[in-house]
């Protein structure tokens, strides 16, 4: 990674000696923050708000964030007992919100993140031994009784500092004297990281970094402890570019960065031996990402996680018990071993190790799935009490078999199985009376499809071409091979490829098409008839009452309007969760009462 150097920043430095290293008559400070019209200060004697002591102790890691509501939240850690204190500043007063011991790690730094899209406030606790965690503090403007851990993170072993860009949704982590990394701040997003800055000779870092801070224009400040240097990185369309390093003669060490109310940068030392004020010009900020709130729903049930880590669970389906809804079964494919069958408490009641299954669907007492081991279709019979048994297996000439869905024509009383491959080929099989499959026609889309669903009543087949569009075909055996694009990714900003799962339901006699928008971890409901209007866009987020995480990186989805028992009387929306966070475990399925989505419509 090449880090370019630019010049021309307007810099002025005011030296404060240790003899006069006090602020507004207070004792020397470790850190200060702005909270409304007041200043918060952390020292070795306590935390002070507007000059008044809030709590006594030896405090480190003071951080504050002004919220969209106008209030300011701030926090600090007592160094001797690892007690985290949390306050809210509003109308000139500081209100204690929570206090508790952090037992999971020795805190090296703290950072707040307010997600305006998901209406959540969280805090990152950064440890020094390769671990960090994200704890939820507030949701929909309501404070939780105590912080709830919603994500465990792997960060570098020698992590020393953090900062969060509220505009870009990025968590920046300093790795001792090696690097600065960027992670996604949202809990239900990709776990990858990006290199922002590196140690010399690959970059400009020369010593251990002890603090990070972001200026109002998005510029990133990084503080080296000994001999102290302040590194300035400017944001542009290509990320961060190194601009300048500032050295401070006569000071042995500096360990913290604060932004003052008048725009100065205050540098302090944890042993209270030195302070330094720096003035840095503010440049035009980069364009922030859109942060319009997104509608939210929450799962009320999750299935037992796959015992195998990594990308395993892929696609759900549901078998509805004809007489006892609570005895219905949820099916989920495992791309490594076969098929799981879950009861309505989320427990695995069957594991059918038939091979690497990808997609599954159900009609009546028959289930079908794509078997990737030999590019075949595996059928399962379902007993009256929901027990699955492997049935016929149909070979195909599809290379890299992928998606599958089923349909049923009440006029002919015959079921169909539709499969597709990564090349874009689609095949239609009829289910004969003896349980065998008969190939009746073939269709094609230009690039890789996967998700598909059939509207049985109108005999329409919907196919998702992952990067491009949703297609509509005639579902009948004599429906021909031509299809039409009805929903294009390029025409819907909230639909971000890949298009993964598709599901169909009639809600209040209106046909609805559900689409998994994997690229932004969300779901969209469209009218399933021209002009295919978008009806709802939503995410599945944390259920704080039940302690269930949200869902993201979703592959397959399913929807049923039939009752599945208590809590799902109106049906359910079922999704594969690619990142099972609470706790970190193998992938699973999340079930959302359909009524929550109906309320959005």
Residues 185/170, Cβ–Cβ less than 8 Å: yes
Starting at the edge strand that comes first in sequence, how are the strands of the sheet with 59-66 ordered? Answer: 59-66, 72-78, 83-90, 93-101
- Within-domain flag for 287: no
Q: What are the CA-CA distances from residue 151 to residues 168, 293, 353, 405, 539 (Å)?
A: 19, 21, 31, 34, 17
Residue 130, SS3 per DSSP:
coil
Phi, psi of 168 (to 5 degrees): -95, -10
Query: What pLDDT is attached to residue 238?
Result: 86
| Same domain as 229, residue 346 | no
**276 and 373: one domain?**
no
Are residues 261 and 321 both part of a single domain? no
- Could you give the CA distance from residue 387 to residue 133 in angstroms, rounded to a whole number? 41
Burial call 372-384: b when 16+ CB within 10 Å, e when fewer: beebbbbbbebee
Between the alpha carbon of residue 552 and those of residues 58, 79, 89, the distances in Å are 40, 36, 34
- The per-residue b/e assignment along 94-105, b for 16 or more CB within 10 angstroms, e otherwise, is beebeeeebeeb
Structural domain for 157, as ranges: 20-280
Cα separation, 233 vs 222, whole angstroms: 8
Rounded to the nearest angstrom, the gap between the alpha carbon of residue 474 and the centroid of all alpha carbons in its chain is 36
Selection from 18, 592, 551, 596 nearest residue 318 by Cα: 592
pLDDT tens by residue, 159-207: 999 999 999 999 999 999 999 999 999 999 887 899 999 999 999 999 9
Judge contact between 160 and 109, C-beta under 8 A: yes
What φ, ψ does residue 159 adopt, rounded to 5°?
Answer: -65, 135
CA dihedral 114, 120, 121, 124 (to 10 degrees): -90
Going by C-alpha positions, the residue among 129, 145, 42, 49 that lies closest to residue 91 is: 49
Residue that finishes a domain, picked among 255, 280, 305? 280
The reply to whether 11 falls in a domain is no
User: Can you list the residues of the chain whose pLDDT is less than 50?
Assistant: 1-26
Distance CA 448, CA 52 (A): 64
Domain boundary residue, one of 247, 280, 313: 280
Together in a domain, 201 and 238: yes
pLDDT in tens, 110-154: 999 999 999 999 999 999 788 899 999 999 999 999 999 999 999
Q: Is residue 316 part of a domain?
A: yes
Residue at which a domain ends, from 280, 308, 324: 280
12 within some domain: no
Residue 72 domain flag? yes
DSSP 8-state assignment for residue 365 = T
149's torsion region: left (phi>0), alpha (psi -120 to 50) or beta?
beta
Whether the Cβ atoms of residue 284 and residue 571 lie closer than 8 Å to each other:
no
H or E element in which residue 599 lies: helix 594-600
Domain count, the chain: 2
CA distances from 458 to 28, 126, 410, 464, 529 (A): 76, 55, 10, 18, 11
For residue 498, whether the previous peptide bond is cis, meaning omega lies within 30 degrees of 0, is yes
Shared domain check, 276 and 347: no
The neighbour count for residue 117, using CB atoms within 10 Å, is: 18
- Within a domain: 14: no
For 205, 231, 431, 459, 485, the CA distances from 475, given in Å and listed in that order, are 61, 62, 14, 5, 15
Under a CB-based contact definition with an 8 Å cutoff, are residues 535 and 529 in contact?
no
* 308 and 437 both lie in a single domain: yes
Domain membership of residue 421 (yes or no) is yes
The answer on 546 and 431 residing in a single domain is yes
Residue 284: the pLDDT is 72
Residue 307 shares a structural domain with residue 408: yes
Contact yes or no for 378/372 (Cβ under 8 A): no
Query: CA-to-CA distance for 556 and 579, rounded, in angstroms?
Result: 14
Strand partners, 404: 419
> In terms of residues, how long is the chain?
601
Same domain, 431 and 345: yes
Predicted pLDDT at 23: 38
Q: The domain that contains 193 carries what CATH number?
A: 2.120.10.30
Q: Are 584 and 153 in contact (CB under 8 A)?
A: no
pLDDT value at position 310? 87
CB atoms inside a 10 Å sphere around CB 321: 18
Number of H-type helices and E-type strands within the chain:
1, 49
Same domain, 326 and 449: yes
Domain-located, residue 192: yes
Same-domain check for residues 249 and 359: no
Which are the contacts of 232, defined by CB distance < 8 A and separation ≥ 6?
9, 219, 220, 221, 242, 243, 244, 245, 246, 280
CB 183 within 8 A of CB 198: no
Q: What are phi and psi of 330, to 5 degrees?
A: -105, 135
Strands annotated E in 252-299: 256-259, 265-268, 275-280, 295-298
Residues 309 and 240 in one domain: no
Query: What letter does residue 5 receive in the DSSP assignment?
Result: -
How far apart are alpha carbons 90 and 83 in whole angstroms? 23
């Amino acid at each position: 990674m090449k880090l370019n150097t630019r010049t021309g920043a307007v810099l002025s430095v005011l030296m404060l000696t240790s003899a006069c290293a006090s602020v507004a008559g207070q004792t020397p400070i470790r850190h200060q923050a702005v909270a409304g019209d007041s200043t918060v200060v952390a020292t070795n004697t306590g935390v002070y708000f507007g000059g008044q002591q809030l709590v006594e102790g030896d405090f480190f890691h003071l951080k504050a964030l002004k919220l969209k509501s106008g209030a300011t939240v701030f926090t600090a850690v007592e160094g001797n007992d690892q007690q985290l204190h949390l306050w809210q500043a509003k109308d000139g007063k500081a209100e204690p919100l929570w206090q508790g011991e952090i037992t999971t790690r020795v805190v090296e730094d703290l950072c707040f993140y307010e997600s305006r899209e998901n209406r959540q406030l969280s805090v990152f606790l950064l440890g020094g031994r390769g671990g960090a965690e994200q704890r939820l503090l507030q949701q929909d403007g309501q404070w939780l009784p105590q912080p709830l851990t919603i994500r465990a993170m792997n960060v570098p072993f020698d992590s020393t500092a953090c900062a969060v860009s509220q505009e870009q949704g990025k968590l920046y982590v300093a790795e001792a004297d090696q690097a600065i990394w960027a992670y996604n701040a949202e809990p239900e997003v990709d776990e990858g990281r990006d290199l922002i800055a590196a140690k010399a000779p690959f970059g400009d870092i020369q010593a251990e970094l002890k603090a990070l801070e972001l200026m109002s224009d998005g510029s990133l400040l990084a503080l080296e402890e000994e001999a102290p240097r302040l590194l300035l990185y400017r944001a542009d369309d290509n990320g961060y570019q190194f601009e300048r390093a500032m050295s401070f003669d006569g000071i042995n060490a500096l360990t913290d960065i604060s932004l003052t109310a008048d725009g100065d940068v205050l540098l302090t030392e944890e042993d209270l031996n030195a302070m330094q004020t720096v003035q840095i010009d503010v440049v035009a900020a980069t364009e922030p990402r859109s942060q319009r709130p997104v509608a939210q729903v929450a799962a009320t049930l999750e299935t037992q996680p796959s015992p195998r880590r990594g990308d395993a669970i892929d696609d759900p389906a549901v078998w509805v018990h004809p007489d006892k809804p609570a005895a219905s079964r949820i099916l989920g494919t495992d791309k490594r071993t076969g098929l799981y069958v879950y009861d309505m408490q989320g427990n695995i009641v069957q594991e059918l190790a038939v091979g690497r299954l990808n997609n599954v669907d159900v009609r009546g007492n028959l289930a079908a799935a794509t078997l990737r081991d030999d590019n075949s279709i595996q059928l399962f019979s379902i007993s009256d009490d929901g027990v699955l048994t492997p049935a016929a297996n149909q070979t195909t000439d599809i290379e890299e078999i992928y998606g599958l869905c089923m349909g049923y024509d009440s006029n002919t009383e015959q079921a169909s199985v539709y499969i597709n491959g990564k090349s874009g080929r689609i095949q239609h099989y009829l289910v004969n009376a003896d349980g065998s499959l008969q190939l009746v026609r073939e269709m094609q889309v230009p690039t890789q499809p996967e998700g598909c669903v059939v509207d049985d009543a109108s005999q329409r087949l919907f196919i998702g071409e992952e990067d491009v569009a949703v297609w509509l075909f005639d579902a009948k055996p004599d429906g021909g091979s031509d299809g039409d694009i009805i929903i294009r990714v390029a025409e819907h900003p909230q639909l971000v490829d890949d298009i993964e799962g598709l599901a169909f339901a009639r809600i209040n006699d209106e046909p609805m098409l559900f689409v998994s928008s994997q690229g932004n971890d969300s779901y969209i409901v469209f009218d399933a008839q021209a002009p295919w209007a978008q009806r709802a866009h939503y995410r599945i987020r944390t259920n704080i009452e039940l302690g269930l995480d949200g869902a993201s990186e979703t592959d397959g989805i399913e929807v049923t309007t039939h009752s599945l028992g208590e809590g799902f009387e109106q049906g359910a929306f079922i999704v594969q969760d690619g990142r099972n966070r609470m706790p970190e475990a193998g992938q699973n399925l999340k079930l959302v009462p359909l009524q929550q989505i109906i309320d959005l419509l």
